[in-house]
Amino acid sequence: MASDTRIGDVEVFDRVARLYDLKPATRRRKLEPALALADRDIGRVLDVGGGTGQGVRSLDLPDGVVVDAAAEMLARAREHDVEGARGDAARLPVADESVDAVLILDALHHMARPDAVIEEAARVLRPGGVLASLEFDPTTVRGRALAAAEHLFGFDSRFFTAADLAAKVRAAGLSASIPRGGFEYTVAGVKRS
Ligand SMILES: C[S@@+](CC[C@H](N)C(=O)[O-])C[C@H]1O[C@@H](n2cnc3c(N)ncnc32)[C@H](O)[C@@H]1O
């Protein structure tokens, strides 16, 4: 699959992949409040728009897989022994009900079809599984600054409030909540049996 800016911010990440891990890494404590809501043990984790695999690596689980559209980001993930598949988050190359948790971390605002991405996350979750999406609130001072900086950098980022993202998660059929609020918030969605 060729890099395609129509599906999201991908080409820029291909260009900066070698430097990406210089940014502060995703921390496990930011994900745990959402993952704790799962109604099943978490074994297989799918990190959507997972880039270099920071999310999977922070959880230190044996069965974590990244799906990302940027080949260079996936190459960096593989250097960290994280398995990866190239694809569009809005059309996941993953079977129905095959994972216990889906992570979408600092990525949904870069994707062109966020509603389809969340529907795909709901499709691949096993009953009792959980979606954890970490995003940034554009109504906060830091959120406005981040949005302006990303647009200057050339990204097409579109940010959501936590309430708006929770509504999208609910619309995809998951039980939505906001276990962590603020500038950098987490929305969870549990797939009820
Ligand atoms: C800011 S990075 C976040 C990477 C990782 N989740 C993290 O927290 O470090 C955003 C990632 O989303 C990916 N991306 C953007 N649009 C995408 C799409 N439609 N499908 C799959 N990946 C996409 C980019 O290639 C990039 O690796």
For the chain, give every domain's residue range. 5-190
Asked whether 26 lines ligand 1 (CB < 6 A), one says yes
Distance (angstroms) between ligand 1 centre and the Cα of 22 equals: 16
Query: To which residue do tokens 């809005």 refer?
Result: 90
Cα 23–17–1 angle (5° rounding)? 140
pLDDT of residue 193: 75
Torsion sign over Cα 6, 169, 50, 161 = positive
Instruction: State how beta strands 175-180 and 184-190 pair.
Output: antiparallel
Pocket test for ligand 1, best of 109, 111, 184 (most atoms within 8 A of CB): 111
Tokens read off for 88 = 């569009």
pLDDT in tens, 90-139: 999 999 999 999 999 999 999 999 999 999 999 999 999 999 999 999 99
Residue 50 Cα to ligand 1 midpoint, Å, equals: 6
The architecture that CATH gives domain 5-190 is 3-Layer(aba) Sandwich (3.40)
Listed range (2-16, 72-86, 140-154) with the worst mean pLDDT:
2-16
**What is the number of the ligand 1 atom nearest to the C-alpha of 50?**
6
Ligand 1 pocket check for 146: Cβ under 6 Å: no
Q: What global pTM score does this model have? A: 0.96
Residue nearest ligand 1's atom 10 by CA: 107
